């Protein structure tokens, strides 16, 4: 099977914010190389101000790259027509507060040149999907933060997009809402959509993302599949049941001599939170270096588990 | 005539207008391209810059050609929704308040109340609507960018062209609706404000009755009685009623009838009377019944026929222009009194078909405005300064036959109505002429004006005399006046939206306001640019203000003066000229004078204005598109 088609590609993508006089202010993104394929859920992580939103805006053509290139569906990110196949949920839902939910969705539907009948049907579906049936006739200015977030998400899905960019989709949502969104994201992925999201809720990211990239001060510090990244390669975990203390002691010796009955052998996984904090710590200590194997120095501790370094 | 501007027939204007437009738009576009390339080349190098430019141009074609009506409609709808939420209601409220107050301070007893009322409503509507357009169009897009609501919009497949056009259309819809409401309100405000009738006092009625009774009884012919109405709105009318049919020797009373009062303050009333049974009987006379109708002919829309004007000098030789009497504005040219100097208009199309006898029983109505320049006050022993007299003559352009119509006192700053009678008698030899038979040659007629008082001057321009062949319909003319405001509003919206694509709200507002004020002063700037005005160019004028020099004294010679002249020449030649071309010529679209002074706004003027509007809006829309397209929305 050929690898799935590349949906998003950035080459040496760099963004420098300048002030009015053209003076360099912030290097928000430095030489980002990224490839995201169809059917992936890609998570973009990083501390505040690390360039996540900037990356998304560059992919959407809301910002122009200082150097480098951003390609979406193989076309330049500044081209409008690509938007036909994109859904975007901004960091905060930037919607017209004087419209109600139905009007909002209908308005964005019209921007996709959808005929009235299709629009009506789609609006009904989405309002139900995000759980706003009761509030569909109320103006957005009366909405709570989570409700606005929900309508924002509905708006991003109005055109049944192939590529969905979600900037902190779960911020402001209640636990049930968060769960629903995560399920929705997984469903969308199963339907063949590509999703790029950024979030500070690492547990959520860990749950849904296939791959992640971690940005720190505009530089990509880590990139890979979540399961591989969270696997500690230089640590071996052996789990065994029904052993006496003596036996355990013995096993230790056996392991030292490279032998014995091993019940399970594998790598312990860490949590994403630890990975993240490790990378950030590392980056702060050695600025400018791509981080590798951060977690080697700090073994995970599991109960009843034996961990050893080769 | 108050409108001191010659209006070319549309198709005569068209080729020149289009060529001029192409030239201006072409050079602005070329300048923009070169500038864009330079900026881009500095960043990316000359070759890449060229590639980028060509991509931008190709994109522009796609973006404009590929606009979707549904998207534009959605964006326009949004703009309407937003406006309704914002300003519109307030502005409408302000308008109503203005009208209410206007009821107090507009005086229906002034000399020309119709002009006052009409120009008041037109002007106040214009300023309000322009203000509304200014606020709506300049604040909306920057607010969308600031609130980042535009991010959500531009990440849909929306073209920058659609955003700009949708905005313009949406505000245009709001403005149009507002303007329509204001127009209807204004129309009724003017009609109602000036509507009145007059009473006739019992004394006057009794005079009338007594005279009629006498005539019925005695059967002797008497001059028709002249009575006066009671005052209303600061004026009275006089009227003559003659209810007798004069057959050979019998005199018969017509018991009911209607007559016109004389004209006062630009209108007349219809007076209808009824002589009840027995009202004229000797023993028990009853009162007459009467009714005075509403003011008539108050609101007119004259359709003038203009002629070609030429001059003769004091010796009677043809000259290009009359004399210039100095400080006066060069629009009018003067002829010297008491000499053979004359101003001669040649009218065409003066035919009996155009002036049929049933509609023009007395002759051809003409109107004329003359500016008087006095070198001395004349005989000022009386109460009033005496008027300066002129002579009005008609002549056959082919045979050279001339007849004096009359000697008339020149009314300064007022339009004088006269009639050229169908039959004229020449005083010198007693010969009579039939106007259409003897004096009109193939529809051409000459009208001559001379000033007959030595040492005084008459000033005239071509549009100062015209024949009044036909009346337009005032209500329609009023609508056309509002159409002028509508066009100004569209211009304002176009400029406002265009500026708001790259400037922040308040700055965009200032810029649009600048364009408006500059646009209202294009005539002045044109004169400044061509050096017609005394006092020199901008720098020289500024120097004169600083040094408190007067406008015509020579500047001290030397390097400094040369420098001033050089900078001025450059400014006048390039900058001012350029600005005059680019700025929206709001003056062009201001028809309030036409409506207020009762002149029909001609189809030619309207057509060329509409085309001019399109000529402005199109490039402004494109500029707005480019600014938005090339801007980083998320900055
Ligand atoms: N419009 C702007 N002008 C100048 N600097 C900006 C602008 N937008 C973002 N920045 C800067 O660029 C850097 C990256 O910002 P960005 O919004 O991409 O961060 P982020 O990773 O999304 O952060 P957060 O987690 O807080 O959302 C920051 O230092 C920020 O200050
Ligand atoms: Mg962000």
Q: pLDDT digit string (tens) for A41-84?
A: 999 988 899 999 999 999 999 999 989 999 999 889 888 889 99
| SS3 assignment for B439-466 | HCECCEEEEEEEECCCCEEEEECHHHEE
Question: How big is the CA angle at B136 (ends B74 and B487), to the nearest 5 degrees?
Answer: 90
Tell me the pairing of strands A163-167 and A86-89: parallel
Cβ B205 vs Cβ B198: under 8 Å: no
Specify whether A153 is located in the same domain as A212: yes
Specify whether A242 is located in the same domain as A185: no
In a domain, residue A252? The reply is yes
Specify whether A280 is located in the same domain as A201: no
Position A306 pLDDT exceeds 50: no
In degrees rounded to 5, what are phi and psi of residue B579?
Answer: -60, -45
Position B493 pLDDT exceeds 90: yes
In a domain, residue A100? The reply is yes
In a domain, residue A67? The reply is yes
The domain boundary residue, chosen from A170, A202, A230: A230
Residue B78: pLDDT band with limits 50, 70, 90: very high
Specify whether A182 is located in the same domain as A252: no
Position A310 pLDDT exceeds 60: no
Specify whether A79 is located in the same domain as A112: yes
What is the pLDDT, as a whole number, of residue A300? Answer: 39
- Supply the residue whose CA is at minimum distance from atom 27 of ligand 1: A48
**Given A64, A83, A90, which is nearest B156 (Cβ)?**
A83
Specify whether A282 is located in the same domain as A194: no
What structural domains and CATH numbers belong to chain B?
10-195+473-629 (no CATH), 202-292 (no CATH), 332-460 (2.60.120)
* Chain A hits for B635, Cβ within 8 Å: 17, 63
Specify whether A87 is located in the same domain as A171: yes
d(CA A14, CA A69): 8
Specify whether A150 is located in the same domain as A257: no
CB of A46 within 6 A of ligand 1: the answer is yes
**Given A64, A80, A96, which is nearest B632 (Cβ)?**
A64
> What element of type H or E holds B170?
helix B160-194
d(CA A36, CA A5): 9
d(CA A145, CA B278): 90
The domain boundary residue, chosen from A230, A245, A280: A230
Position A13 pLDDT exceeds 90: yes
The domain boundary residue, chosen from A230, A265, A281: A230
What is the pLDDT, as a whole number, of residue B587? Answer: 77
Q: What CATH number does residue A202 fall under?
A: 3.40.50.300
CB of A53 within 6 A of ligand 1: the answer is yes
Specify whether A222 is located in the same domain as A244: no
Q: What is the CA radius of gyration of chain B?
A: 31
B371–A contact, CB cutoff 8 A: no
What is the distance in angstroms between the Cα of A94 and the nearest Cα belonging to chain B?
4
Give the residue-averaged pLDDT of B7-31.
Answer: 86
d(CA A39, CA A209): 11
Residue B110: pLDDT band with limits 50, 70, 90: confident
Across the interface, do A63 and B152 touch by the CB < 8 Å criterion?
no
Across the interface, do A63 and B632 touch by the CB < 8 Å criterion?
yes
What is the distance in angstroms between the Cα of B518 and the nearest Cα belonging to chain A?
28
What is the pLDDT, as a whole number, of residue A239? Answer: 66
What is the pLDDT, as a whole number, of residue B437? Answer: 86
In a domain, residue A241? The reply is yes
CB of A169 within 6 A of ligand 1: the answer is no
List pLDDT tens digits, range B278-303.
777 766 666 788 889 988 888 888 88
Position B51 pLDDT exceeds 70: yes
The percent of residues above 90 in pLDDT, for chain B, comes to: 24
Q: Which position has the higher pLDDT, B353 or A293?
A: B353
Specify whether A251 is located in the same domain as A141: no
Across the interface, do A112 and B157 touch by the CB < 8 Å criterion?
yes
> B335-344, B367-376, B581-590: which has the minimum mean pLDDT?
B581-590
What is the pLDDT, as a whole number, of residue B155? Answer: 92
Position B273 pLDDT exceeds 80: yes
Position B327 pLDDT exceeds 60: no
Question: Which of A94, A95, A154 is the mutation pick for testing B, counting most B CBs within 10 A?
Answer: A94
B88–A contact, CB cutoff 8 A: no
The one-character DSSP state at B12 is H
A47 CA → ligand 2 middle, Å: 9
d(CA B306, CA B318): 20
Give the residue-averaged pLDDT of B250-277.
Answer: 82
Specify whether A243 is located in the same domain as A196: no
What is the pLDDT, as a whole number, of residue B328? Answer: 47
Residue B103: pLDDT band with limits 50, 70, 90: confident
Q: What is the pTM of this model?
A: 0.82
Q: Which position has the higher pLDDT, A32 or B428?
A: A32
In degrees rounded to 5, what are phi and psi of residue A51?
Answer: 110, 15
In a domain, residue A94? The reply is yes
Cβ B409 vs Cβ B388: under 8 Å: yes
Give how many domains chain A has, as a whole number.
Answer: 2
What is the distance in angstroms between the Cα of A32 and the nearest Cα belonging to chain B?
19
**Given A60, A96, A107, which is nearest B155 (Cβ)?**
A60
In a domain, residue A1? The reply is no
Q: B368: closest CA among B335, B398, B408, B404?
A: B408
CB of A26 within 6 A of ligand 1: the answer is yes
Q: 3-class SS at B80?
A: helix
Residue A296: pLDDT band with limits 50, 70, 90: very low
In a domain, residue A88? The reply is yes
Specify whether A61 is located in the same domain as A157: yes
Across the interface, do A111 and B71 touch by the CB < 8 Å criterion?
yes
Using a CB–CB cut-off of 8 Å, the residues of A that contact B are 17, 57, 60-64, 80-81, 83-84, 86, 88, 90, 92-96, 98-99, 107-108, 110-113, 155, 159
> What element of type H or E holds B583?
none
Give the residue-averaged pLDDT of B527-532.
Answer: 62
The range of the structural domain enclosing residue A298 comes to 236-309
**Inter-helix orientation angle B113-146/B474-500, to 10°:** 20
Which of A130-144, A242-256, B196-210, B232-246 is modeled with the greatest confidence?
A130-144
Position B584 pLDDT exceeds 80: no
Give the residue-averaged pLDDT of B489-499.
Answer: 94
Residues 6+ away with beta carbon under 8 Å from B277? none
B98, two tokens = 């203005």
CB of A157 within 6 A of ligand 1: the answer is no
Position B48 pLDDT exceeds 50: yes
**Given A93, A95, A108, which is nearest B156 (Cβ)?**
A108
Q: 3-class SS at A82?
A: helix
> B155-169, B381-395, B477-491: which has the minimum mean pLDDT?
B381-395
What is the pLDDT, as a whole number, of residue B169? Answer: 96
In a domain, residue A86? The reply is yes
């Amino acid at each position: 099977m050929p690898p799935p088609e590349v949906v998003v590609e950035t080459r040496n993508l760099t963004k420098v914010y300048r002030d009015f006089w053209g003076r360099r202010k912030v290097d928000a993104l430095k030489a980002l190389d990224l490839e995201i394929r169809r059917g992936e859920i890609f998570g973009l992580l990083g501390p505040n101000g690390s360039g996540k939103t900037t990356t998304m805006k560059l992919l959407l053509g809301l910002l122009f790259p200082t150097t480098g290139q951003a390609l979406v569906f193989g076309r330049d990110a500044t081209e409008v027509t690509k938007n036909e196949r994109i859904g975007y949920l901004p960091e905060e839902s930037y919607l017209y507060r004087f419209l109600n939910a139905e009007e909002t969705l209908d308005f964005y539907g019209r921007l996709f040149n959808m005929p009235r009948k299709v629009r009506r049907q789609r609006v009904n579906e989405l309002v139900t999907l995000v759980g706003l049936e009761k509030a569909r006739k109320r103006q957005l200015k009366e909405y709570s933060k989570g409700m606005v977030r929900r309508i924002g998400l509905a708006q991003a899905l109005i055109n049944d997009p192939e590529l969905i960019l979600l900037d902190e989709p779960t911020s402001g949502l209640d636990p049930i809402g968060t769960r629903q969104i995560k399920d929705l994201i997984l469903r969308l992925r199963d339907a063949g959509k590509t999703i790029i999201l950024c979030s500070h809720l690492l547990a959520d990211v860990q749950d849904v993302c296939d791959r992640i990239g971690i940005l720190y001060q505009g530089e990509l510090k880590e990139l890979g599949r979540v399961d591989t990244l969270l696997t500690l390669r230089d640590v071996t975990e052996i789990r065994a049941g029904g052993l006496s203390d003596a036996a355990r002691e013995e096993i230790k010796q056996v392991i030292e001599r490279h032998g014995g009955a091993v019940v399970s052998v594998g790598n312990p996984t860490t949590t994403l939170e630890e990975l993240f904090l490790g990378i950030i710590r590392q980056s702060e200590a050695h600025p400018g270096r791509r981080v590798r194997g951060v977690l080697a120095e700090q073994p995970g501790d599991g109960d009843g588990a034996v961990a050893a370094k080769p | 005539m108050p409108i001191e501007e010659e209006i070319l027939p549309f198709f005569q204007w068209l080729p020149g207008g289009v060529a001029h437009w192409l030239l201006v738009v072409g050079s602005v576009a070329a300048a923009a391209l070169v500038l864009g390339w330079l900026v881009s080349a500095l960043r990316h190098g000359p070759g890449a810059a060229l590639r980028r430019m060509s991509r931008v141009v190709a994109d522009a074609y796609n973006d404009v050609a590929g606009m979707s009506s549904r998207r534009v409609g959605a964006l326009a709808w949004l703009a309407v929704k937003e406006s309704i939420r914002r300003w519109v209601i307030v502005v409408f409220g302000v308008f109503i308040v203005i009208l209410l107050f206007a009821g107090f301070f507009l005086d229906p007893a002034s000399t020309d109340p119709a002009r006052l009322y009409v120009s008041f409503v037109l002007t106040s509507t214009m300023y309000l609507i322009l203000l509304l357009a200014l606020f709506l169009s300049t604040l909306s897009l920057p607010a969308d960018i600031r609130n980042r609501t535009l991010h959500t919009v531009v990440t849909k497949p929306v073209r920058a062209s659609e955003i700009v056009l949708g905005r313009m259309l949406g505000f245009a819809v709001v403005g149009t609706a507002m303007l329509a409401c204001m127009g209807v309100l204004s129309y009724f405000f003017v009609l109602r404000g000036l509507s009145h009738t007059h009473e006739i006092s019992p004394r006057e009625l009794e005079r009338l009755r007594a005279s009629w009774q006498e005539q019925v009884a005695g059967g002797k012919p008497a001059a028709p009685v002249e009575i006066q109405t009671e005052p209303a709105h600061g004026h009275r009318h006089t009227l003559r009623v003659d209810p007798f049919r004069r057959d050979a020797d019998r005199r018969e009373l017509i018991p009911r009838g209607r007559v016109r009062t004389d004209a006062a303050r630009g209108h007349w009333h219809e007076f209808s009377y009824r002589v009840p049974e027995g009202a004229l009987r000797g023993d028990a006379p009853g009162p007459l019944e009467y009714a005075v109708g509403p003011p008539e002919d108050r609101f007119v829309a004259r359709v003038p026929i203009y002629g070609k004007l030429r001059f003769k000098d004091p010796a009677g030789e043809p000259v290009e222009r009359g004399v210039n009497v100095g400080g006066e504005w060069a629009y009018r040219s003067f002829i010297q009194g008491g000499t053979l100097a004359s101003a001669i208009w040649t009218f065409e199309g003066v035919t009996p078909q155009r002036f049929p006898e049933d509609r023009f029983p007395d002759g051809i109505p003409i109107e004329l405005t003359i500016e008087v320049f006095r070198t001395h006050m004349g005989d000022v022993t009386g109460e009033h300064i005496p008027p300066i007299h002129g002579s009005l003559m008609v002549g056959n352009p082919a045979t050279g036959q001339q007849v004096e119509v009359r000697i008339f006192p020149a009314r300064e700053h007022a339009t004088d109505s006269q009639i050229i009678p169908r039959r004229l008698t020449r005083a010198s030899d007693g010969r009579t002429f039939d106007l259409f038979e003897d004096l009109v040659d193939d529809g051409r007629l000459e009208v001559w004006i001379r000033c007959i008082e030595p040492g005084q001057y008459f000033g005239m321009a071509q549009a100062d005399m015209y024949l009044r062949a036909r009346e337009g319909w005032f209500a329609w003319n009023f609508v056309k006046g509002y159409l002028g405001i509508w066009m100004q509003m569209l211009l304002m919206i176009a400029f406002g939206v265009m500026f708001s694509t790259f400037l922040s709200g308040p700055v965009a507002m200032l810029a649009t306001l600048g364009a408006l004020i500059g646009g209202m002063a294009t005539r002045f700037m044109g004169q400044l640019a061509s050096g017609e005005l005394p006092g020199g160019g901008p720098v020289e004028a500024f120097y004169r203000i600083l040094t408190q020099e007067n406008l015509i004294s020579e500047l001290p010679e030397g390097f400094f003066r040369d420098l001033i002249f050089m900078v001025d020449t450059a400014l006048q030649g390039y900058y001012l000229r350029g600005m005059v071309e680019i700025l929206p010529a709001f003056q062009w679209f201001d028809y309030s004078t036409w409506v207020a002074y009762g002149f029909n706004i001609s189809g030619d003027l309207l057509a060329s204005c509409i085309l001019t509007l399109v000529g402005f809006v199109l490039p402004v829309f494109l500029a707005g598109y480019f600014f938005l397209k090339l801007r980083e929305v998320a900055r």
